[in-house]
Amino acid sequence: MTQKLVIIGAGMASGRVIEHLLDADPAAFDITLFNAEPRGNYNRIMLSPVLSGEKTYEDIVTHSDDWYAENGVTCRFGEHVVKIDRDRKVVVGQQGEVAYDKLIIATGSAPFVIPVQGRDLPGVITYRDLDDTNAMIEASEKGGKAVVIGGGLLGLEAAAGLQMRGMEVTVLHLTAHLMDRQLDEAAGYMLRRDLERRGITVMTRASTAAILGSDRVEGVMLEDSTGLQADLVVMAVGIRPETRLATDAGIEVARGIEVDARMRSSDADIYAVGECVEFDGQLFGLVAPLYDQAKVLAADLLGQDAAFVPKELSTKLKVTGCDLFSAGDFAEAEGREDIVFRDPARGVYKRLVLEGGRLVGAVMYGDTADSNWFFGLIRDGADVQDMRETLIFGPAYQGGGASDPLSAVAALPPEAEICGCNGVCKGAIVEAINGGATDLGAIRAVTKASASCGTCTGLVEQVLAVTLGDDFVLPTATPVCGCTDLTHEDVRRLIKSQELKSQPAVWQELGWKTPNGCHVCRPAINYYLLAEWPLEYADDPQSRFINERKHANIQKDGTYSVVPRMFGGMTTPAELRAIADAAEKYNVPTVHVTGGQRIDLLGVRGEDLPAIWADLNAAGMVSGHAYSKGLRTVKTCVGKDHCRFGTQDSTGLGIKLEKALWGSWTPHKVKLAVSGCPRNCAEATCKDIGVVCVDSGYQIGVAGAAGMDVKETERLADVATEQEVMDLTMAFMQLYRENAKYLDRPYKWVAKVGLDWVKEQVVEDEANRKALIERFLISQSVYQKDPWAELAQPKAAAAFSPIANLMQEAAE
């Protein structure tokens, strides 16, 4: 007997159900199909190519009107279903009722609209169906600016489509990297880079506060008060199952309509399929599981045994030129191992995640040719232990060799600058090599590359190696650590020449062998990035040693020392009183006067740090950075104000220097001193920078040491005015910041580059000195701020206490 089957929603899942039913038994059901959209089933996944203009709607129609007619499906398109009456077993449409024996709810999903002011303005569009797509195409015909909210699959496809249609597109994404549900940081970085190359602006950590406009949308306001102009806003922040009809009908609904493995809802005659369902706590948004569900549902309707089992899923982005793939689970469990392959030359990143000898996840960018093979291994749970060594090279390359340590340099374009001192690019060096300069000395003679400060020597040698091949034997240089084959100097220069502005950029473009470095390289990379890109790169506390992260020195018993700054070694009774009060209030066991002319409170408990800082802040004091690779102290003697031998105001100059320099991060710690006369009571001649005042002015010495090595300063210059001291000191600091290897004190660095070169840069070349000072001041505009004041704020302070205390529960 023919049963009456009513289906609500003509999407890809229900379309597949109908196909299965017709294939099995065309006469089994009398089908009525409702669809709110005034059309039948089309391939929704292909809307993005329609938006970009690479396909038309006609290309993506799955079931035409003729198809429905030929197969006897009664179509009620463009008609909303008002309700489901389960007692009478009828579906009530706007145009009348239809009785059912079996009912399928396939209402799909609705776009999530973030509840901000202005979301209803004309020109604000979600991205879900053909009408949305057409609305975007129409809006793009006028050109102008589009803002896409949401950097997930749909948002990025919308952005790429609008950009191809000539709009100026900005993508706003809430978290730190694009497509964070499907990609890891490294692949997210590469995707961002490719989108930016196409001309799309990407803003991450961007939270929308309001959509602006009076009659129609005019702009978007972010939480941080950034304003963006917009003629079109596309909201693509996510979807939620469309369950209203089911809820109204009293069917059990959690996040989606709850179904069993046979796709039946809590009412045995009502099935649900597709994005509107929830099975075993899971929702479904990709097409593969929907097709599986459709097959099960059709079988159950036909009285056959079938059960739906969710499988591993894979994702590909349909943006031409952005080749990415992700599948399985690549983050979230213990006992997993990573295999990472990076080829900066081809812009390729591959990461495989193994667990118990099996492949459980994969992320690929730039080369996804083998993705189906990897996906098969994940889906089948295949044992990959035997091919582990060569697994990442793919099926065709079992037994392949290791990656080439020279690939980063090989990938550089000819115009990439290798030698910053002499402005020599890679192309010029290659030309010299081809002209017969086949060793470092010859390159230096012909091009001047690496002939000045010498920090690019490693890179020049690598260019030689890449160009000459086996004819050149690369001298062994010490790499930063086991995560890379590059030296510190190479990394610094490549960060600059390749404009690498984030950690993921460094890991990828320089072919790092670990996911995110180690305790040796990450602090160095963090420093190089913030020194090179003070405005673009944000300092990462998690890449710092504990003392710099906690802004206090850890002691061997796990307590901390707190040292407030005393500019130029000067203090006041009020400051001393506040320090004494703090010492008593927090039971500080040891109070010590340091060699840098300030007071050290030793033995402070970690939990008390924010409170003691707040107290010291209240008395006008800031962090002394006694823990940082940065400016420590400027030691002074009392100078001509009090001392009968004093020639200049050494304390005043010391205070000025410390006020100018404090807060700056440097490759290693930096200590200064200013002595008022050559008797040198401030011991200025063994400091990183030491000034000795004389009758005629000031003698500036640099590169002294009084630690593991003891070394007298070398004379940088003699100058007549305080302003010249300030200028030369700032320029020297910046030159050191920009060129020294991480953890080289100035004396070690000057020994490598030579004092003559430093003098050339800082003293003799006035324009260069000015430029150095300017860059130093830009950096100070970001970093000269008191870290204690920031960390004493309640939210930051909470992190200094345990996240939970389970001792109380144990006591109960």
Partner 1 sequence: MSWIDIGHIDDVPLRGARMVKTPVGCIAVFRTAPEEIFAASNSCPHKGGPLSEGIVHGQKVTCPLHNWVFDLNTGQAQGADEGQIDVYPVRLDGGRILLDGASVGLRRAS
Instruction: Report the interface residues with partner 1, using CB under 8 A.
Output: 175, 180, 184, 331-336, 338, 514-519, 522-523, 541-546, 549-550, 554, 556, 558, 799, 802-807, 809-810, 812
Structure tokens at 456: 């690019």
Taken as a whole, the chain contains a residue count of 812
Q: Which is nearer to partner 1, 644 or 795 (CB)?
A: 795
**Residue 96 has which token pair?**
């009348």
Q: What is the largest CA-CA distance in the chain?
A: 118
Least Å from the CB of residue 546 to partner 1: 4
Q: Give the residue with the Cβ less far from partner 1, 512 or 736.
A: 512
Tokens of 250: 């009293």
The angle at the Cα of 617, spanning 611 to 620, to the nearest 5 degrees, equals: 155
- Helices 488-497 + 521-532 axis angle, to 10: 40
As a whole number of angstroms, the distance between CA 35 and CA 16 comes to 15
Residue type present at position 230: A
Return the number of the residue (541 or 707) whose C-beta is nearest partner 1. 541
- Count CB neighbours of 680 within 10 A: 16
Q: How far is the CB of 52 from partner 1 (least distance, A)?
A: 30
Cβ count within 10 A of residue 254: 12
Name which of 556 and 644 has its Cβ closer to partner 1. Answer: 556
Q: Could you give the dihedral angle defined by the CA atoms of residues 76, 79, 83 and 88, in that order, rounded to the nearest 10 degrees?
A: -30
- Min dist. Cβ of residue 84 to partner 1 (A): 31
Return the number of the residue (337 or 718) whose C-beta is nearest partner 1. Answer: 337
DSSP 727-751: HHHHHHHHHHHHHSPTT--HHHHHH
- Tell the smallest beta-carbon distance from residue 513 to partner 1 (Å): 11
For residues 193 and 522, which CB has a smaller minimum distance to partner 1 in the complex? 522
Rounded to a whole number of angstroms, the minimum distance from the CB of residue 517 to partner 1 is 6
* Amino acid code (one letter) for 227: G
Q: Which two tokens stand for residue 668?
A: 């290693």
Find how far residue 117's CA is from the centre of its chain.
Answer: 29
Question: Least distance to partner 1 from the beta carbon of 268, Å?
Answer: 32
We find the least distance from the C-beta atom of residue 425 to partner 1, in angstroms, to be 34
168-172 and 201-203 beta bridge pairing: parallel
Angle between helix 130-141 and helix 153-164 axes, rounded to 10 deg: 40
Nearer to partner 1, 22 or 524 (CB): 524
Using the minimum distance from each CB to partner 1, give the nearer residue, 522 or 565: 522
Please tell me the distance from the alpha carbon of residue 429 to that of residue 457, in angstroms, as a whole number: 12
Q: Which is nearer to partner 1, 1 or 810 (CB)?
A: 810
DSSP-derived pairing of the beta strands 29-35 and 3-8? parallel
Tell the smallest beta-carbon distance from residue 138 to partner 1 (Å).
38
Closest contact distance (angstroms) between CB of 543 and partner 1 is: 7
Residue whose C-alpha is closest to residue 664's, from 702, 630, 696: 630
767 vs 807 by CB, closer to partner 1: 807
Nearer to partner 1, 521 or 661 (CB): 521
Select from 262, 375, 255 the least CA-distant residue to 313: 375
Least Å distance between CB 716 and partner 1? Answer: 35
How many whole angstroms separate alpha carbon 319 and alpha carbon 268? Answer: 42
Q: Which of 282, 741, 289 is nearest to 486 (CA)?
A: 741
**Cβ 151 to partner 1 shortest distance, Å:** 15
